[in-house]
Structure 1
Amino acid sequence: MSDSGSSRHHGGSSNKRVAVVGGGVAGIACSWELRNHNVDVDIYESSSELGGHANSVPFRGKNGQTINVDTGFVVMDETTYPHFNNFLGEIGIQTIPTDMSFGVATIDGVFEWSSRSIQSFIGTLTLLFSPWLWRLIFDIVRFSLFAQDILTEESMATRTARTGSQFASGYPYDSGDDVLSQAMERDLADLPPESIGDYLVREGYSRQFMKYFLIPMVAAPWCIDVDEFGRSFPAKPLIRFMKNHGLLDTATKTLQWRSFRNGSRTYVDAFQALLPRRHKLHLNTPIQQVTRTDGGDQVLVTLADGCTVRSYDHVVLAVHANQAVTLLGNNATDLERRVLGCFRTSRNVCYLHSDTSLLPKRPSAHAAWNCILGPYKPAEHESSQRREQQQQQQQPLLYTDDEKKQQRHGNTMSLTFDMNALQDIPLPDETGSPGRVLVSMNPFRQPSSFQSSHVYYHPLINSESILMTRYLHTINGVANVSFAGAWMGFGFHEDGFVSGAHAARIITQGRAAVPPLDLVGNSEPARSDRAGLWRNALKVVVLGTQQFLNGW
């Protein structure tokens, strides 16, 4: 059965017809950006509701009360989420300050720390006399002072990468696919750049700093295994990301993050209530195929029944990159396949529950974000804290080249979010409490009392995907098909929102008039902040101490 196009669903309108495939934050942003234009929009979502990772799930408390708890998108920051924050203001949604304390614990409880206080970080008084702890603290200070120096480092790899970036983003839109493919392959041949793990080894950071502090802290937002993260995430983009998000100064600054008291679903509901009449929502409507017509002026959308086909002037694929390739099928160009094929996802299982045994064993080590590390695989399981500390103190303070290989086969990671803290839900001893409310991502065992489970796919950020962001503009908007999604950046809600709005501008302004999208900082100038007098003096002291340790 052929459908004469979306005009049938828009009262015979002669407006430009657009299909947005995917009802997550990117699809929502695209629709919102188009709201004041003479465009008829069909939003297709395969599930029963919009929102994607903005998935607030009912939690039934012991007091009989039901509250909405976020299981995917939980927190945001007004400073680093400016476009999404403006959107919330436009639709009348308010957020609340949230607790963003972070902690790391081994699964056996041998080592646990939390950022809530000095006491929760140190744990036991005996550790105050341990060189192991003081070296960890020293490296935390050193990293905050020196890490951003990498942003001004010059190497053959960075010069080549920057040349590739200028070539790709500055090349005319009508360049041939062969020319672009050759440039792309040259850039890919220079990979991989220095990973964050290799950088930390090169700079002589201690094992405890890498294993128990930095790598878990930066791997947690992406739900990536800590060892995989250490060897695959490029150092320079990560440190640039940390600098831009205020993560290099966590020892002296408190991050001002915010959450949704009644769940992020509130913004999705508000958006739906404000949908213009020209925008039609199609829930429970999976798409089978997206096909460009031979003339190139129309794009056909085939629904899952295989019979219903609708024609559009432009289609926005606001889905994961691999899903976009699948939808395009044989209609995808070689360049689209090559670029989109570099963006992969990881499958993560999430549980909403009340099982406090998935938190760190020591209550003072509990945090809003609790990163639980699995056993270090090459080593025998240690059940005694004394034995573990003795083992750590016997190990060299720095990795040798041989140990660098050994660190790549160790930890796995699970996250447990304290939703009482993150969403300001009353604790069990407070009035109106539904009890303990926890969300665990990839737990080592199934919680004993979970109310629901969910599967989320997160972008796998690596050197190849970051490189390919430089080439996204060469395929975005070509032949009336655009792409959008958080995977086009670092995988955060702001990235998804900005990419969706960018796709809308391609539709309204024309592809050539819209500057290329840069969500990972490829176009940022290579500079570090100018340090004050006290900071420079402290750097001299730290550098001298490091040289002493290296010669010790």
Structure 2
Amino acid sequence: MPSGKESSTRPRHIAIVGGGISGIACSWKLRKHGYLVDIYESDSKLGGHANSVAFKGKGRVVDVDTGFIALDEATYPQFNDFLKELGIRTIPTDMSFGVSVSDGDFEWSSSSIWSFLGELSYLFTFWFWRLVFEILWFSLFAHEILYEEPTIVREDEDTSLLTSCENEIDAIEKDLKSLDQFQTIGDYLKEKKYSDEFINYFLIPMVASPWCIDTNEFKETFPARPLIRFMMDHRLLDTVTRTLRWRSFQNGSKTYVDAFLSSLPAHHQVHLKTPVQKAVRLKQGVMLTFGDGSSRIYDHVALAVHARQALDILGNGATDLERRILSSFQTSRNTCYLHSDTSFLPKRPSARAAWNCFLGRTDEAIDGTPPHEQGSKISITFDMNKLQGIPFPGDPNSVGRVLVSMNPTRIPKTLQSIQVYHHPLISSESILMSGYIHRINGVSGISFAGAWMGFGFHEDGFASGAHVACMLVDGREKAGYLDLVASRSDSQRRKFGPGESLLRAVLVLARRSFLLLRGEGLGSKGFI
């Protein structure tokens, strides 16, 4: 244990609180630098959302992911490098998406054209063709918002805001009030006059599903510009013209956690079932107090937990700036059920996808079209046979149907396990505050890491943990600051291939022709 006075010859003693992807990344990046590292995890295992649960069926057992399920090679660069160093292979996965509204009254899937159409009668309805037009238009033109709205000024770009205020908290409050914050995705879609069908049955369910946020809440709180930027970075705007190439773990994401544990050097120790109650800054370091009442002093502590948990651990010792910034990051509680109850899939077999989003039931319908005012409750069923390459019933080595349902309205009949996860709630305030985290990160012996610093994905978690390690090794100034919601999309124009450029031109011509036929000006924000 470190003494009161730090010796120049002894290795620094680092504590990592939290054994999820951020804590794992921090330890991984420190492994070759001689630090003495203790990883504290309150659970009985490491991994956090990388939680593979045993599924038993037909005399066999398979590890099934119930939290972190899929990754993309292009947008998970640091995490993929980590997997390669560990020697962990991934497999191509099916990332098809579908929506079921009002207990199956309207269903669609992205698996194929016919699975999207569903019923031939839709070909003779105006609302369906408008929906198709708007899907194409949003995919090819939504990115233009990135060049229409001003970008938030960051401290490295213009320090006048900070230096003109009495303190940093005043600067933050002034920033929040003066920037008019972000236009929400709901307000943006209304302003652009997208139809209810496009908003309620296509876009919002698709983008709310990764965070499992109720659709009405998502429309009212999620900022439009960062969302579209996120969709552009993750190629979600390209789904009309290209197939997403995502990957998963055939034997569960626990394979990388197990490989990490096997590769731990002797000077890195893992302490499971060891909750940290308090972190107190002292002259000689940071003292951690544990659930059993014992304590230990470290040279530096990395709080690789949710922002609210970090605040609880800091308690009264948190600075006003830490309290103001960290309190801006909220989470939602989501319950996942591992089961084999196929009644949790869409009614129409062709509408069944890898991701199946269910929207709340309503009895209201207009002219045979899907109802316009559905409930906001959202639940998702992940088809793990498709996502993880688990053999279907009838195939060799099958364990049967394997499904994971998040926040369902009822309990599955063939239940095998229940897991609870917390996901970040993205808002204008959290987006803004992500650019201020560097003001408190690595200060006075304590650093912060977590996927909540970005959009809540595994790559965000890994990048934040790796950055803490970089600050410890190279120093805060040399490491720079990390803003996980920033993107090069603001400064780089989206590039289109010949086919996409032709389709854009056709859409513009079709829209102009229809507006002229209706006697509307070409400057109208409406579509058709």
Return the TM-score normalized by structure 2.
0.92
Which of the numbers 442, 448, 454 marks the counterpart of 1:477? 442
Which of the numbers 35, 38, 41 marks the counterpart of 1:39? 35
Are the equivalent residues in 1 in contact too, given 2:154–2:435 (CA < 8 A)? no
Q: Tell me the alpha carbon deviations over residues 426-449 of structure 1, each in whole angstroms, 9 at most, x when there is no partner.
A: 111212111100000000111111
Q: Write out aligned runs for 1:169-184 (5 A).
A: 178-184=166-172
1:22 paired with 2:13, answer: no
Question: What secondary structure, in the 3-state scheme, does the structure 2 residue paired with 1:455 have?
Answer: strand
Q: Write out aligned runs for 1:350-429 (5 A).
A: 350-376=336-362, 381-382=363-364, 390=368, 392=370, 410-429=375-394
**Cα deviation, residue 107, structure 1:** 3.9
Q: Write out aligned runs for 1:63-74 (5 A).
A: 63-74=58-69
Question: What secondary structure, in the 3-state scheme, does the structure 2 residue paired with 1:59 have?
Answer: strand
Are the equivalent residues in 2 in contact too, given 1:105–1:372 (CA < 8 A)? yes
Question: What secondary structure, in the 3-state scheme, does the structure 1 residue paired with 2:289 have?
Answer: strand
Q: Write out aligned runs for 1:458-497 (5 A).
A: 458-497=423-462
Are the equivalent residues in 2 in contact too, given 1:6–1:42 (CA < 8 A)? no
1:452 paired with 2:417, answer: yes
Question: What secondary structure, in the 3-state scheme, does the structure 1 residue paired with 2:279 have?
Answer: strand
Are the equivalent residues in 2 in contact too, given 1:107–1:374 (CA < 8 A)? yes
> Partner amino acid for 1:188?
L
Structure-2 separation of matches of 1:41 and 1:103:
45
Of 316-325 and 237-246, deviating more is: 237-246
Return the TM-score normalized by structure 1.
0.89
Are the equivalent residues in 2 in contact too, given 1:151–1:528 (CA < 8 A)? no
Q: Write out aligned runs for 1:121-520 (5 A).
A: 121-154=116-149, 158=150, 161-162=152-153, 166-167=157-158, 178-189=166-177, 190-293=179-282, 295=283, 297-306=284-293, 308-376=294-362, 381-382=363-364, 390=368, 392=370, 410-520=375-485
Structure-1 separation of matches of 2:410 and 2:160:
46
Structure 2 counterpart of 1:400: none
Are the equivalent residues in 1 in contact too, given 2:15–2:39 (CA < 8 A)? yes
Q: Tell me the alpha carbon deviations over residues 43-66 of structure 1, each in whole angstroms, 9 at most, x when there is no partner.
A: 0000100000000000011x1101
Structure 2 counterpart of 1:100: 95
Are the equivalent residues in 1 in contact too, given 2:333–2:420 (CA < 8 A)? yes
Q: Tell me the alpha carbon deviations over residues 237-280 of structure 1, each in whole angstroms, 9 at most, x when there is no partner.
A: 11111111111010110100000000000000000000000001
Are the equivalent residues in 2 in contact too, given 1:165–1:522 (CA < 8 A)? no
> Partner amino acid for 2:358?
I
Which of the numbers 75, 78, 84 marks the counterpart of 2:79? 84
Structure 2 counterpart of 1:10: none
Structure-1 separation of matches of 2:418 and 2:36:
36
Question: What secondary structure, in the 3-state scheme, does the structure 2 residue paired with 1:390 have?
Answer: coil
Are the equivalent residues in 1 in contact too, given 2:23–2:39 (CA < 8 A)? yes
Structure 2 counterpart of 1:546: 511
- Report the identity percentage: 56
Structure-2 separation of matches of 1:177 and 1:15:
40
Are the equivalent residues in 2 in contact too, given 1:470–1:522 (CA < 8 A)? no
Are the equivalent residues in 2 in contact too, given 1:375–1:411 (CA < 8 A)? no
> Partner amino acid for 1:135?
R
1:49 paired with 2:27, answer: no
Q: Which of the pair is proportionally richer in helix?
A: 1
Question: What secondary structure, in the 3-state scheme, does the structure 2 residue paired with 1:269 have?
Answer: helix
Are the equivalent residues in 1 in contact too, given 2:53–2:65 (CA < 8 A)? yes
Structure-1 separation of matches of 2:310 and 2:261:
24
Structure-1 separation of matches of 2:387 and 2:224:
29
Question: What secondary structure, in the 3-state scheme, does the structure 2 residue paired with 1:370 have?
Answer: strand
Are the equivalent residues in 1 in contact too, given 2:381–2:405 (CA < 8 A)? yes
Are the equivalent residues in 2 in contact too, given 1:373–1:411 (CA < 8 A)? yes
Structure 1 counterpart of 2:523: none
Question: What secondary structure, in the 3-state scheme, does the structure 2 residue paired with 1:97 have?
Answer: strand
Of 211-220 and 531-540, deviating more is: 531-540
Question: What secondary structure, in the 3-state scheme, does the structure 2 residue paired with 1:213 have?
Answer: helix
Structure-2 separation of matches of 1:482 and 1:249:
37
Alignment root-mean-square deviation, CA: 2.2
Structure-1 separation of matches of 2:350 and 2:70:
23
Structure 2 portions without partners, runs of 5+ = 521-527
> Partner amino acid for 1:301?
L
Distance verdict in 2 for CA 1:258–1:6, change over 3 Å: farther
Structure-1 separation of matches of 2:316 and 2:119:
61
**Cα deviation, residue 421, structure 1:** 0.3
Q: Tell me the alpha carbon deviations over residues 12-67 of structure 1, each in whole angstroms, 9 at most, x when there is no partner.
A: x9210000000000000000000000200000000100000000000011x11011
| Number of matched pairs | 512
Are the equivalent residues in 1 in contact too, given 2:76–2:459 (CA < 8 A)? yes
Q: Tell me the alpha carbon deviations over residues 310-341 of structure 1, each in whole angstroms, 9 at most, x when there is no partner.
A: 11110000000000000000110000000000
Question: What secondary structure, in the 3-state scheme, does the structure 2 residue paired with 1:222 have?
Answer: coil
**Cα deviation, residue 195, structure 1:** 0.8
Structure-2 separation of matches of 1:57 and 1:104:
26
Structure-2 separation of matches of 1:220 and 1:169:
39
> Partner amino acid for 1:436?
R
Are the equivalent residues in 1 in contact too, given 2:99–2:201 (CA < 8 A)? yes
Q: Tell me the alpha carbon deviations over residues 430-480 of structure 1, each in whole angstroms, 9 at most, x when there is no partner.
A: 121111000000001111111110100001111110100010000000101
**Cα deviation, residue 192, structure 1:** 3.4
Structure 1 counterpart of 2:524: none
Are the equivalent residues in 1 in contact too, given 2:165–2:171 (CA < 8 A)? no
Distance verdict in 2 for CA 1:177–1:64, change over 3 Å: farther
Are the equivalent residues in 1 in contact too, given 2:340–2:415 (CA < 8 A)? yes
